[in-house]
Structure 1
C-alpha cells in the first residue's frame, strides 16, 4: 500500500485494519482453489447471479427469487450483467479509465437517465472517480468507500443501493481484491439488512465499513460453497 494512500486514515478506525486483512485473506483463499482457477467462468457466473438476486431482495424484500426477471430483480440482473464473466474484463478496463461512464451505464440499466440525483452528486462522483483512477487507494477499502459514497449519499436516488453494491464488486475486481468476482457479499448484507440500511443513513462511517468488510468475509465463505458445489 503506497505511503500516500488517501484512505490511510480509515485504517486507524477501530478494528478496520484487522478486518481489511481478514477480508483480503479470505477472498484470496477462494481464488487459490483449483476450481476457481479452472472454472472461474462457472463459479463467477453463479456468484454474479446470486449477488443480483440478493441485491434485489435488499431493495425490496417482497421480491421472489424465482420471479420473472422484471422490476427490482430485472434491474439487478441488468446491472450485474456488467460483472458477468464474459463482460467483466471489459467493464473493469473501462471503469479504471472512465469510472463515471460505467456508473452512468449502471444507472441507465437500473432505469435511470445516467445522471446523479443528489444535489452534490456530481461533485461526489468526480471525487470518487479521482480515487478510482488515481491508483493509490487501499485495494480492500476502496470498494467499501465506493459502496458507501454512492449508497450513503443516495447519489442516484432510489437506485443508489443497487448501483453501489454492483460498483463495489467491480471496484474489487479492478483493485485485485477480488479479481475474478467470486465473493458474494450481498448475502451478509441482506441477512443484516436493517443494520446495513441504518449504517448508511445520513451518509456512512465506521459502522458501515465494519459491516461491509464482514460482508466480504462472509461472501468469501459463500464463494467457497459455490466452489465445492461445482
Structure 2
C-alpha cells in the first residue's frame, strides 16, 4: 500500500476556539514524557535518508507488517514470509490486509466524515466474519458515544497527535461498535489519526508492531484500564500507546535499513 497523502490531506496542529477538553491528558502521570519520547522516535524515523526516495516502498512494507501485527493481536499470528507469499487465507488476516491496503484512500475523508470511514473499515475487516447485512453498521448502543468520538476526530486540539490517536483507538476498542473485527478497526483508526494529524504523514512507522511487541496481555490490560475510566487507567493506556508508537518508529527504521541494504 502506498498512501497518496496530498498537501491538503494532513492537518497541522490547530488551537481550539474554546476550552480544549484533551489538553489535561498531558498532565496525567507519565503521559507528557511518554508523548515526547514517541514524537522523538517518529521524528528520527522521518529523518532517515531512504525516505527521500523510497517512502512509498517503506509505506508498503509498513502496511504489510502492520496487518500481520494487527491480526496477531486478534490471536492469529502468521509468519511474515507466508503472508508475503500470499499463502495465508485466514479471514482475520485477510481482513487486516484489506484494511491496510485501503487506508490510503481514506486519509482525506477521515477528518470530514469519520463515520463513513469507520463503516468502510468494518466492511473490509469483517467481510468474511460477519453477515453481509451487519457489515459497516454500528450497534444501536454505540450511537451517542460514537458521536462524541467523531467530534474529537473532526475537532481541533493542542494535544499531541499520538494522544489523540491513542484516544480514538481506545474508544473504539472499548466500545466495540460492530461486534466483529473491532480491534482491527480501532487500530486502523488510530493509524489514520496519526497520519492526518501530522505525526506520521507518510505512514512509514508500524504502531501495530509496537503493540504486538509489548504483548497481547499488556495490550488487553492497558485497554481494560482505559475502559475503567480512572485517571490512572487512562494514563496507563496513553503511556502504553506512546511506547507502542515509539516501538513502531523503530520498526520503520528497520524497514528503511533493509531497503538501504537492498
Answer yes or no: same fold by TM over 0.5.
Answer: yes
Q: CA RMSD in A?
A: 1.8
Q: Counterparts of 1:39-54 in structure 2 under 5 Å? A: 39-54=54-69
CA contact (8 A) 1:146 1:164 kept: yes
CA spacing shift, 1:69–1:5, aligned 2, 3 Å:
farther
Equivalent residue for 1:59?
A: 74
3-state SS in 2 of match to 1:34: coil
Task: Count residues with an aligned counterpart.
Answer: 224
3-state SS in 2 of match to 1:110: helix
Per-residue CA deviation, residues 121-159 of structure 1 (Å, 9 max, x unaligned), is: 121211111111112252221110010000122222231
Which residue of 137, 155, 165 maps to 1:134? 155
Equivalent residue for 2:258?
A: 229
CA spacing shift, 1:118–1:178, aligned 2, 3 Å:
farther
Whole-angstrom distance in 1 between the partners of 2:216 and 2:147: 29
Whole-angstrom distance in 2 between the partners of 1:163 and 1:141: 18
Equivalent residue for 1:116?
A: 138
Q: Counterparts of 1:23-38 in structure 2 under 5 Å? A: 23-38=38-53
CA contact (8 A) 1:184 1:216 kept: yes
Whole-angstrom distance in 1 between the partners of 2:174 and 2:34: 21
Superposition deviation, residue 32 in structure 1: 1.6
Superposition deviation, residue 16 in structure 1: 0.3
CA spacing shift, 1:35–1:64, aligned 2, 3 Å:
closer
* TM-score, normalization by structure 2: 0.80
Superposition deviation, residue 54 in structure 1: 1.0
CA contact (8 A) 1:118 1:153 kept: no
3-state SS in 2 of match to 1:39: helix
Gaps of 5+ in 1: none
CA spacing shift, 1:225–1:43, aligned 2, 3 Å:
same
Equivalent residue for 2:240?
A: 211
* TM-score, normalization by structure 1: 0.90
CA contact (8 A) 1:150 1:160 kept: yes
CA contact (8 A) 2:210 2:246 kept: no
Equivalent residue for 2:9?
A: none
Whole-angstrom distance in 1 between the partners of 2:210 and 2:151: 29
